[in-house]
Chains A and B, each alone.
Chain A
Amino acid sequence: MLSQNVADRLRAIVGDKWFLDSSEDLATYSYDAFLPEFIPDAVLVPSSKEEIALILKLADEYRFPVIPRGAGTNISGNSVARKGGVILAFHRMNKIIAIEPENMCAVVQPGVVNADLQKKAAACGLMYPPDPGSMSVSTIGGNVALNAGGPRGVKYGAAKDYLLGIEAVVPSGEIIRVGGKVFKSASGYDLTRLLCGSEGTLCIFTEIIVKLVPLPAARATLQAAFADVEDAARTVSAIIGAGIVPTTLELMDRVVLDAISDYAGARFRSGTQAMLLIEVDGEEGSVGELGAKIEKFCMERGAVEIERATAPEEAEKLWAARRSAFGAVASIRPNCIVEDATVPVSMVPAMIKKIVSLAETYRLKIGVLAHAGDGNMHPLIMTDLRDRDEMTRIEAALNEMYEAALGMGGTISGEHGVGIAKDRFMTMEFSETTLGLMRGIKRVFDPNNILNPGSFL
């Protein structure tokens, strides 16, 4: 609960119109795309870094939590007021300040929608590579806070690889600038990249400088069907192992394909146990060659059918099926838990095998979706939160799954973030010493733990 005094002072900072405490506002800022929901004490929609500085100063003084929220599409529970406090929304800080082709960068406010930046960059012949599934709604601020990736991550990496600089407000109310429009710097600790993936726990971004790359001239998309999921998994490892770097390399297993069929009416060749969706980009000539090379790879490793898109509309069709996967799977049972275990690419076959066996052992319905090219698994667990017994079995399965992934040299989260979704697994991945270092960093930035308290640490 905010005291009247604090509420009044917050109102004075952002103006009455942007201090939201109606029941409709509190209800609609109580959730993100993860499961638990918490009603905040208020929602603030500031317009400038100066307002944010005043807000944080007040929060630090009166010790109330501040939770920054982009579009609230994260699936790690990072944008909810789990310990009360105020939600900080960036709807009004949504300007693309500049796109600078000569510096191959863009300067944006945190509320800029990823897809909008993509559009403006494309008009200049440029591309911002991170393409999370949520890109039509998610914001750059959120993407950077979660180190978002996406299917293009195989070739291009994630937000961290395209982050040049950040301006932010720290909990004391001071404003810091780290990085800049330079591609490299050897001065001081790399706070820029530390902040990337910090899940709103260290400071509040007010301006972000991102790196752009040239928009590829051509793309080729192909879809390969396999009668055996292991064949598909081994093909993934083989492609990457041969030094071929497609732009995207997605894998869907039979469970996922069935869901898509039922949902979208797409027809897949009978006997297909797994599908790879592969895209390559580059110059006109090389794209064709690369596509042919990959096609050969797939055929040599057991692909039973290959479909190649020769026009953008055909590529769209192939992608539409992939994009509908999550929604299709999630509509089968009341809830869908998406996990994010990521392993070295050579371990993809083993990890998939492990997931499938866990589904059997614990009697769970799991579909395997994966950004297979970078080892990022997305087991989709179809369930019903009300089924206590199943929840217990899922917990046991997850424990085993993460142990396996970590044992293979992987990580508990490839791109979704930890938040309150996977915080209980942090001790599996990191030693007490490492966690101690992380907590120390948090303390230095935020001694009074006002920013997104309860998230991952």
Chain B
Amino acid sequence: MPDPNIAEQFDQCIKCGLCMATCPVYKELLLEKYSPRGKVQLARYYTAGSFQLTDHTRDVFACCLLCGACSATCPSGVDLREIFLAMRESIASERGLAQPMKTVVDSLAAYRNIVGEDNLERAEWLEDLPGSQVSSCTGDRADIVYFVGCVASFFPMVQGIARNMVKILKSSSSRFAVLAGEEWCCGYPAAAAGAPDHLAELKAHNIARVRELGASTVVFSCPSCLKTWKEHYHTDLELLHSTQLIARLIEQGTLSLGHVEGTLTYHDPCDLGRQGGEYAAPRKIINSIPGVSFVELNGTASQSICCGGGGNVETADPMLSRLIAEKKLAQIKDSGADVLVTSCQQCVRTIKGAARRTGDPVHVMDITDIVVKAVDASERKIKQGGPSTAASGRPAR
């Protein structure tokens, strides 16, 4: 049974339906049960005891990106996203998890990652780094821990993000470290699937490893890992997103950004933007890069439309995820930009995957990709002996 606070939310819902205008899933699936309002009503009836959960109810609630656009739109202040998470929990406890979600969640307990591989493989991406970089992030003392996350660790398409982060962190004066094979999944898939009990072990382990290193800050390139730590880990460690750290480094003059040509647009990841409140840092970074021409998407910041990669939907219904990603591509095309920058490896994978499938020529980059590109451009300029066109006005360290 959802807790009483959630039940109070129902009283606020006046069934106006405005939430339905912002739901990417409803736009694809058309039927009321998949809409935010429909799911609130199902939750209401279930809580009132007039509706019995079925496996199909589980499927219905699985088709939700947890993007929060509905909560942001609701004129009555209903937190629909919280209701949907609470329902996933009730459904999981009453009917268990569906496949393949069950396999993923079981994998967290057995392997400590989402892919069901030996967790030591998390260190795989480190092997492509130059030796100096590897040694600087595998010591036993650090101020900052870079928590890579399962996706950037295990999926080749986005392992570059982790490598970029190491390069960026190396330019800062802080000692940093990655946990490599000792990093365990943050627990997001379990929390999002309605099985938050799985987090206890994961969070105890991750926090202990960070404490052992003596670090006081954890930086994440994955907005969902960050959100999970913020919501579930109850720690006083400083938790930063890569964009927040990078913006700081730019402000301090630590990062020297050279010229990069291109018309860029930026996709606000749901867990960083709308759910995390961070819209400024990524834009500050992009606008600090000389040569870049920046255009906003039509539907930006708090109005950003989910790429289709959220809420475990990629696992539960890959076709739905794909359809939503294709709508994102159309939105990007409308902006006239030839480069899409975002700051979430899941968004990168989802959008890039869709672009590859449809043959869309858009160039999809993570924010760390473009930062490293700008840093490299600055270093090249310096090597050439010319004056640096760096935004900071100081030579790179």
Contacts and interface: CB of A to CB of B under 8 A. Distances in A.
Interface of A: 20, 22-25, 27-29, 31-33, 45, 71-73, 89, 91-92, 113, 115, 134, 136-138, 263, 323-324, 326-328, 330-331, 334-336
Contact of B57 (A24, A138, A334): A24
Residue with the highest number of chain A CB atoms closer than 10 Å, among B12, B20, B35, B52? B20
B75 A27 contact: no
Given A33-B16, A327-B14, A336-B14, A27 B45 contact: yes
Contacts, number: 88
B16 A324 contact: no
Interface of B: 11-12, 14-18, 20-21, 30-33, 35, 38, 41-42, 45, 51-52, 54, 56-57, 60, 74-77
A360 B11 CA distance: 26
Contacts of B30: 45, 91-92
Nearest to B14: A330
Given A24-B42, A28-B33, A334-B11, A71 B76 contact: no
Given A24-B54, A29-B32, A334-B11, 18 more contacts: A22-B54, A25-B31, A27-B45, A27-B51, A28-B33, A28-B35, A32-B15, A33-B14, A33-B17, A91-B31, A92-B30, A134-B16, A136-B21, A323-B75, A327-B18, A327-B74, A331-B76, A331-B77
A403 B74 CA distance: 35
B17 A134 contact: yes
A440 to B, nearest CB: 34
A28 B42 contact: yes
B51 A134 contact: no
**10 closest Cβ pairs, A-B complex:** A327-B75, A136-B21, A91-B30, A28-B38, A28-B32, A327-B76, A73-B17, A331-B76, A28-B33, A330-B14
Residue with the highest number of chain B CB atoms closer than 10 Å, among A134, A137, A336? A137
A33 B51 contact: no
Nearest to A135: B21
Contact of B18 (A22, A136, A331, A334): A136
Contacts of B32: 25, 28-29, 72, 89
A23 B75 contact: no
A323 B75 CA distance: 8
Nearest to B50: A27
Contacts of B51: 23, 27
Contact of B33 (A25, A33, A72): A25
A325 to B, nearest CB: 8
B17 A331 contact: no
26 contacts: A23-B56, A25-B33, A27-B41, A27-B45, A28-B31, A28-B33, A28-B35, A28-B42, A31-B41, A71-B17, A73-B17, A91-B30, A91-B31, A92-B30, A113-B21, A136-B21, A137-B17, A137-B18, A263-B77, A326-B14, A326-B16, A327-B18, A327-B76, A327-B77, A330-B75, A331-B76
A23 B15 CA distance: 19
Contacts of A113: 21
Contact of A31 (B15, B18, B54, B60): B15
Nearest to A34: B15
Contacts of B33: 24-25, 27-28
A27 B16 contact: no
Contacts of B75: 323-324, 326-328, 330
B324 to A, nearest CB: 17
A23 B52 CA distance: 8
Residue with the highest number of chain B CB atoms closer than 10 Å, among A24, A27, A134? A24
A31 to B, nearest CB: 6
Nearest to A115: B21
Nearest to A138: B17
A210 to B, nearest CB: 20
Contacts of A115: 21
B192 to A, nearest CB: 21
B76 A330 contact: yes
B58 to A, nearest CB: 10
A20 B60 CA distance: 14
A312 to B, nearest CB: 14
A258 to B, nearest CB: 16
Given A33-B16, A263-B77, A323-B75, A22 B56 contact: yes
Contacts of A326: 14, 16, 75
Contacts of A25: 31-33
Nearest to A331: B76
Nearest to A263: B77
A331 B74 CA distance: 11
B18 to A, nearest CB: 6
A20 B31 CA distance: 10
Contacts of A89: 31-32
A134 B18 contact: yes
Nearest to A71: B17
Contact of B12 (A31, A134, A137, A331): A331
A89 B31 CA distance: 9
A328 B54 CA distance: 35
A24 B60 CA distance: 8
A334 B45 CA distance: 16
B195 to A, nearest CB: 22
Nearest to B21: A136
A137 B41 contact: no
A33 B11 CA distance: 14
Contacts of A336: 14
Residue with the highest number of chain A CB atoms closer than 10 Å, among B12, B14, B17, B20? B14
Nearest to B17: A73
A29 B31 CA distance: 9
A36 B42 CA distance: 16
B79 to A, nearest CB: 12
A320 to B, nearest CB: 10
Nearest to A334: B11
Nearest to B10: A334
Contacts of B21: 113, 115, 136-137
A20 B34 CA distance: 13
A27 to B, nearest CB: 6
Contacts of B52: 23
Contacts of A20: 31
A72 to B, nearest CB: 7
A335 B75 CA distance: 14
A323 B74 CA distance: 11
B168 to A, nearest CB: 35
Nearest to B61: A24
A341 to B, nearest CB: 20
Contacts of A324: 75
Nearest to A30: B41
Nearest to A335: B14
A387 B280 CA distance: 48
Contacts of A327: 14, 16, 18, 74-77
Contacts of B54: 22-24
Contacts of A72: 17, 32
Contacts of B57: 24
Contact of B41 (A28, A328, A335): A28
